[in-house]
Amino acid sequence: MVWDAVECRSLFTPGLLGEPANRNSKVSNVNGQHKLSVVIDGSSNLPKGKRAHFYGVDNMDDGSPKTDADWRELLSSEEYRVLREQGTEAAFSGKYWDEKRPGIYRCRGCGSPLFTASAKYDSGTGWPSFYETVDNDVVKTETDKSLFMARSEVHCSRCSGHLGHLFPDGPQPTGLRYCVNSCSLKLDQTEASRDSLSRDEPNSSSGEVSDG
């Protein structure tokens, strides 16, 4: 029997491993292979930013370091410019700025899960905007002063790929806006994306238009 994929979702209390409220598992046959799906849920009262989500580990790379030549072979010229050279795509030009399908948005560079479609909202900026990540440690930030002002630049924690910028003008419940370049992302609509099927999209409350 070949185990094609394992998908897990665990909800943790901040800093502590919470006791799971329920555990469900399912084995399905996909194209002649067996697929194991496991969902472990903790407290439903925890905000999504405090949850650890593990979506389809088979969709991530092996984590080995890549050379510049490796990145150039893997990515298109535009993806390389944005992910590896901190570039920004033009507003309203990316393929995901108006995307409404459910799924998980992964890092284009390494496949790490970053955002759920249920956390995506229309900010009016022309870039994909999210009010939270799938977990606290999937992205990292650093100060960017390239445009004569201080902004919080957002990177993938796993491969350090440039994603966009973080602004404090998003909708509740977080008040944050992750303004992300489409070419830094890849929408995954596999079974592991079930968490995005409930689209309770918040009202947009973004302020001025700022680039990704």
Any idea where the domains of the chain sit in the sequence? 67-196
* Residue 85: Cβ within 10 Å count: 8
Low-confidence stretches of the chain (pLDDT beneath 70) = 1-59, 145, 147-149, 191-212
Instruction: Name the token pair of 19.
Output: 């006791």
Token representation of residue 157: 């924690």
Is the separation of the CB atoms in 117 and 104 below 8 Å?
A: yes
Instruction: Find the radius of gyration of the CA atoms of the chain.
Output: 17
pLDDT of residue 202: 53
Name the phi and psi angles at 81, rounded to 5: -60, -40
3-state secondary structure of 205: coil
Could you tell me which of 141, 129, 207 has the C-alpha nearest to residue 168?
A: 207
pLDDT for position 200: 45
pLDDT at residue 177, rounded to an integer: 97
Cβ atoms of 130 and 113 within 8 Å: the answer is no
Looking at residue 22, what is its pLDDT?
A: 36
What is the rounded CA–CA span in Å between residue 172 and residue 131? 8
Nearest of 123, 141, 116 to residue 55 by alpha carbon? 116
Strand partners, 102: none
Which whole-number Å values give the CA distances from 202 to 46, 91, 128, 131, 173, in the listed order? Answer: 18, 22, 14, 9, 9
As a CATH number, domain 67-196 is 2.170.150.20
CA distance 131 to 109: 22
Residues 43, 104: Cα–Cα separation, whole Å: 22
Q: Do 107 and 161 meet the contact criterion of CB atoms below 8 Å apart?
A: yes
List, as one string, the DSSP characters of 126-147.
SS-EES--SSTTSEEEEEE-TT
- Which pLDDT value is given to residue 62? 78
Give catalytic residue positions: 179
DSSP SS3 for 188 = strand
